[in-house]
Chain A
Amino acid sequence: MGRVLFHIGRYVLLMRSVFSKPENMRIYWQESLREMIGMGYGSMGIVVFISIFLGAGAAVQTAYQLVAGFVPLEVVGQITRDSTLLILTPTITMLVLAGRVGSNIASQIGTMRVTEQIDALEMMGVNPSGYLILPKLVAGILMLPLVSIIGMFLSIWGGYIAAVAGHLTTSTQYIDGVMRDFDPWALSVGIIKLYLFSFILISISAYQGFYTQGGAFEVGKTSTKAVVFSCITILFADYIVAQVLLQR
C-alpha cells in the first residue's frame, strides 16, 4: 500500500511539473506537432485494422446469439453500434494503443534517462518533464481520440460488411439497427472515455519512462510496466466512467 501511495504521489508531482510554464512555447509547439504526426499517422494503420475486425466480430457474435426467431435482426446493427461506441473503440482500441504508443513513449523516455539525456536537459535549465512529456500529452490528447473516432465509423462499417456478406442480416436491417434508438449520450460517453484514456495512456507511460533506473534491461522492463499499468488503469477508469455516466 505504501508503494502504491508513493507512486501516486510521485505521479501527481510529475504531472504538476509537466504543466509548469514552458521555457519556449514555440519549441514545445514544434515538438507537439512532431509528436502529432508520429502518434496520429503512426497509429492510423493499426486503428483501421482492429476497428474493422472488432466491428465485424461484434456483428457476427451478436447474430450468433440471436437463436430465438422473435428477436428482430436489426438488433445486430444496434448492438454493434452500442458496443463500438461504449467499449470496443474507447477501451479495446486504447488497450491496443497502449501496446503501441505507450511502450514507445516509455522506452523512448527511459532510454533518455539511462543515457543521461534527461540530466543534460536539466543541466541546460530545461524542465525535462515539461519538454519531454507535455508535447506528447498534447499530441496524444488531440490525435488518439481523433484517430479512434475514425475507428468508430470503421468498426460499424466492419460490422455491416460482416453481417451483410455473411448473410446474417440484410443491408437495410443492419442500417436500420444502427439508426434505431440512437442515444447521443452513448457517443458522448465514448468520446469522454477516449480523451480520458488517452491522458491515462500517455501520462502513465511517460511516468514509467521518466523514472527508469539502470540500463537496457530496465528500459525493457519499463516498457512492459508502462503497457501493463496503462491497461489496468484504463480498465479501472472504464468501470468508474460507466458507473458514473451510464447510471439509469
Chain B
Amino acid sequence: MIEIKNLSKSFDEKLVLKSISASFNPGVTNLIIGGSGSGKTTLLKCMVGLHEIDSGEILFNNRNYNGLSFTERKPIRQEIGMLFQGSALFDSLTVEDNVMFPLNMFTKMTKEEKRDRVNFCLNRVKLQNVNKLMISEISGGMKKRVGIARAIAMEPEYLFCDEPNSGLDPKTATIIDDLIHEITHEYSITTVVNTHDMNSVMEIGDHIIFLFEGQKWWEGTKDEIRNTDNKELNDFVFATKFLQNLRNK
C-alpha cells in the first residue's frame, strides 16, 4: 500500500501540487487522471522520488520514502517497477538485455535462471522471438510491452506507469491497459497509472483520482465517474460530443 499525506510541490514560485492526500491499495489499478498541466506527472514523479517534495509524506507500506538519501531509497526502489511514457528502454541493448538489466545488476541468479525469467516476463506481455532484436527494431507498442516486462522482472510490489498508452493506436492501447490490469490483479501489485486516456479510465479504473489545478478534486471508481455531478470532472471526462452523447443515452 502507498499513502501520500499532504503532499505539496512547487517549481520556483509556482505551486504545482497543493496538499494532496491519497491511498493506493494493492491488487487495484489506481489511476491518476487530469488535464495537461494538472500536475499528474509531477505527482507520479514525486511519489517515486524523481522529484523532491516540498512538504508532506510518502509511505510505502508504512515506510517513509521522502527525505531519504539515494542509498537509503535503494531497498524500496528495488521493489518498484516503472513504465515510462517513452518506454525509456536502453537503446544500446537488445530486448533481452533490457529486461535482464535489473537481474544482472541486483541478483545472483545464474545465466540460465535469468534467461528463464526474461522469457517468462516477455511471454507474460505476449512477446515472443524478439529477444535478440535491438530497441530501434521494434514498434512503439512492443516497446511499451518490453517496458512492462522490464518493470516486472524483479517481481515488484509497486508498479508505476506514466501515460502507458500515449502515442499508441486504440487497439494496442487497450492491450497495454489490459496487461497492466491483469498483472496488477495476478501478482497483487500496487499499481499507479497516470493517464488522460478515457478508454483506460472506463476499462481499468478500479480507483481513480482526478487532479485539477494541482489539487485532488475527485476520487472514486470507474462506475462512479459515469454518474458524477462534479463539473470539472465531467468537463474533462466527457469533453467530446461523442462521449457526451454516449453518456446521455
Contacts and interface: CB of A to CB of B under 8 A. Distances in A.
Nearest to A108: B92
Given A123-B80, A124-B77, A125-B78, A115 B86 contact: yes
Interface in A87-120: 112, 115-117, 119-120
Contacts of B90: 112, 117, 120
Contacts of B50: 119, 122-123
Nearest to A34: B92
Given A115-B88, A125-B73, A127-B70, A120 B82 contact: yes
A123 B48 contact: yes
Interface string B191-222: 00000000000000000000000000000000
Contacts of B102: 124
Contacts of B80: 123
A27 B82 contact: no
B48 A24 contact: no
A24 B109 CA distance: 13
Contact of A119 (B74, B88, B106): B88
B101 A124 contact: yes
B174 interface: no
A242 to B, nearest CB: 39
Contact of B77 (A17, A27, A125): A125
B84 interface: yes
Interface residues on A, range: 10 to 19
Interface residues of B, number: 24
A127 B89 CA distance: 17
A116 B105 contact: no
B88 A23 contact: no
A24 B88 contact: no
Interface string A21-59: 001100100000000000000000000000000000000
A126 interface: yes
B123 interface: no
B88 A126 contact: no
B105 A123 contact: no
B166 interface: no
Interface of B: 48-50, 70, 73-75, 77-78, 80, 82, 84-86, 88-91, 101-102, 104-106, 154
A-B pairs, top 6 by smallest CB distance, nearest first, are: A125-B77, A116-B88, A120-B88, A125-B74, A123-B82, A116-B84
9 contacts: A24-B104, A27-B105, A115-B88, A116-B84, A117-B91, A119-B50, A120-B90, A123-B77, A124-B106
